[in-house]
Amino acid sequence: MITLKSSHEIDLMRRAGKITAAARALAGEMVRPGVTTQEIDSAVEHFIRKQGAVPSFLHYNGYPASACVSVNDEIIHGIPGKRVLQEGDIVSVDVGAYIGGFHGDCAATFACGKISPEAQDLIDVTRQSFFEGIQFAKEGHRLFDISAAIQTYVESHGYSIVREYVGHGVGTAMHEAPEIPNYGHPGRGPRLLRGMTLAIEPMVNAGTAAIKQMPDGWTVKTLDGKWAAHYENTILITDGEPEILTAPAI
Ligand code: MF3
Ligand code: CO
């Protein structure tokens, strides 16, 4: 069942979303050579708690940190640790904050110092695929219209969509119905209705779509070792343009 949020619940989700977006921005500012991934995680946790919120990911299914920090060929769910970021790395940071009974969830891939044009293009295409997708995120469309638009855009740039992980509804639980694949057929899937709150999150590989799971039980890498990027926002379906609940403040 896909929940429809009331206007009061939407206000609560706006508050969770603002904090989540600000935590992502803070993480992005910290991405530079010499910083460890656990320093980013600590700053994210501290910031979220200072806002009176709780990190959504901490202890979720046993996850040991507040942020996911995934570097280069790591696609998602990288566990922060002693890894020192290097010039030229690309760093995907995924964060969630819970406050007032609701979650925000967002992610982005950041450049560490000067990166290659190829890496920048991967980041740019991944981010833009989100915006291509949400052109269809409004009442009257169907869910997989979003999915298809993301897939078409990404594949037209020669990149691959990760299939094993998908976007999702978000609200009182971090993962609610529906699942939102980043591939699919237009005209299919549930009808979109105002009040739905969705986390749309393309995960894009520069090489093939194949992934491998690391022995830590969390980190997901590309099988071919080529790099990957991730971009995610929590959005609200309205009768007009979608509202991005995790939009950057400026
Ligand atoms: N944004 C990710 C998701 O939607 C975050 C989950 S990481 C976890 O699934 F550690 F919390 F599982
Ligand atoms: Co998510």
Nearest to 90 by CA among 114, 72, 117, 67: 72
pLDDT in tens, 99-129: 999 999 999 999 999 999 999 999 999 999 9
Which of 37, 44, 60, 74 is the pocket-test mutation for ligand 1 (most atoms within 8 Å of CB)?
60
Report the nearest atom of ligand 1 relative to the CA of 107: 1
How far apart are alpha carbons 209 and 164 in whole angstroms?
9
pTM greater than 0.85 (yes/no): yes
What mean pLDDT value characterizes the chain?
A: 98
Q: Tokens for 148?
A: 């298809």
pLDDT in tens, 225-241: 999 999 999 999 999 99
Omega prior to 178 cis, within 30 of 0? yes
How far apart are alpha carbons 114 and 99 in whole angstroms?
36
Say whether pLDDT at 250 is over 80: no
Minimal-distance CA residue to ligand 1 atom 11 = 57
How many angstroms is it from 95 CA to the middle of ligand 2? 9
How many angstroms is it from 198 CA to the middle of ligand 2? 9
Per cent of the chain over pLDDT 70 is 100
Q: Contact, 75 vs 69, CB < 8 A? A: no
